[in-house]
Amino acid sequence: MGKIKVETCEIEGLKIITPTVFGDERGYFVETYNYNDFKEAGIDQVFVQDNQSASKKGVLRGLHFQINYPQDKLVRVIKGAVYDVAVDLREGSPTFGQWHGELLTEENKKQFFVPKNFAHGFLVLSDYAEFCYKCTDFYHPNDEGGLLWCDDAIGVQWPIPEGMELTLSDKDTKWGGLKEYMEQMKK
């Protein structure tokens, strides 16, 4: 291995990946994904779709999940900085409803592996950010679910600087919280 450093966190399954950066006076080179290295690190997924989004400062996207076609995601920032969050929604998990946040920037080049059955979202902290993610299933337009980004039952501590104006999509202001999610799961 050696090309990537993989760290775990308090929620089993989440992984923070830091690639090796080879730099000199010309710039740098980084291998952002190598199946063999990731497999050796315990991330043995087949990614079938790559996505990229651009957002301005204060944009908060999420917390999203897929209902019938859950996806593993490998996310990173190629421009700017975001605070990336994953919430455990795995039925029977000892950390169900808990969250972990990670600062992803173009400078630190960290990647965040978010397994299936987690809600995911991010807040743009820089003036502008470009966010890339690999997914293990294709996008299904009618399969999206979500949790309210500010649900007290989850308690995500978003690093919102004083004076920052948040920009959310209409749907992201209307999701229910963890309590509503759990009631839906019982049906």
Indicate which residues carry an active-site annotation: 64, 133
Give the amino acid at 157.
Answer: Q
* Nearest CA among 33, 1, 11 for reference residue 99: 11
Q: What percentage of the chain's residues is helix, strand, coil (to nearest 5)?
A: 10, 40, 50
In the chain, where does DSSP find H-type helix?
35-40, 178-186
* Nearest CA among 127, 122, 180 for reference residue 156: 122
Dihedral Cα 111, 117, 119, 122, nearest 10 deg: 10
